[in-house]
Amino acid sequence: MTHHHVPSSLLFDYATGALSEGPALAVSTHLSYCGDCLAALGRLEEIGGVVLQSLAPAAVDSELLSRTLARLDEQGANERKPEPEDAANGTLPPVLRAHLGIGLKDARWRFAAPHVREARLTLGGPSHRASLLRVPAGRNVPRHTHRGVEYTVVLSGGFIDRGQAYRKGDFCAADPSVEHRPVAMDDAECLCLIVLDAPVLPMGRIGRLIAPFLR
């Protein structure tokens, strides 16, 4: 049961395909937990279906059908079902596992700030930065602002930010204007997905990347 949802304009951009990969990953992670937003996406895709049906058919090569039929047998059927939750990956939804590559336990956790650990996720394009972040119970992320929008989805535990409580599955978008200092709840470590919708800038001679919340 989630309480903080994806803003409708963002869900709309996801449905039309306009949202780039980083924010789309944050949205699809929330969708993995939230039946309401998944249903809302389904309705937006129904509009896509109506729009597709309303298009005037374009001319296609007369042999396109036979060329396609000839390729069917090599396709096979894709019966793959979502993998069940496995112990190695803990609580990660399938959409995230694909980007982590390995199990949660084996992920490369790096220092991000005192008490805070970060594991980078792989995205196809370079324009966003996506990470998993672990913050121990009761600890906080240093006060910071960002250059782009920062999207957060809680995977386990929870945090408090600007008077709001965010728990498993909740979605939080912080504009560049926001200066904040999220604090993990007292009862458990907080694990979350963080996506920054801004170019990643290298810092210093060794080319180390700036930790997301220190920018």
Site of interaction with another protein (CB under 8 A): 5, 7-9, 12-13, 16-21, 24, 28, 31-33, 35-38, 40, 42-61, 64-65, 67-69, 71-72, 75-79, 81-82, 93-95, 98, 123-125, 169, 173, 175
User: Nearest Cα to 141, choosing from 162, 114, 175?
Assistant: 114
Choice between 30 and 146, CB closer to Zn ion: 30
CB of 37 to Zn ion, least distance (A): 3
Q: Report the half-sphere exposure of 99 (CA within 13 A, side-chain side).
A: 25
The alpha carbon torsion through 38, 42, 43, 47 (nearest 10 deg) reads: 140
User: Nearest Cα to 192, choosing from 145, 148, 160?
Assistant: 160
Query: Residue 206's binding partner, choosing from Zn ion, another protein, none, with beta-carbon cut-off 5 to 8 A by kind?
Result: none
CB of 55 to another protein, least distance (A): 4
Binding status of residue 155 toward Zn ion by CB under 5 A: no
Query: Residue 48's binding partner, choosing from another protein, Zn ion, none, with beta-carbon cut-off 5 to 8 A by kind?
Result: another protein
CB of 158 to another protein, least distance (A): 15
Beta-bridge partner residues of 129: 196
CB of 160 to another protein, least distance (A): 17
Distance CA 200, CA 193 (A): 17
User: Nearest Cα to 173, choosing from 6, 21, 3?
Assistant: 6
Binding status of residue 5 toward Zn ion by CB under 5 A: yes
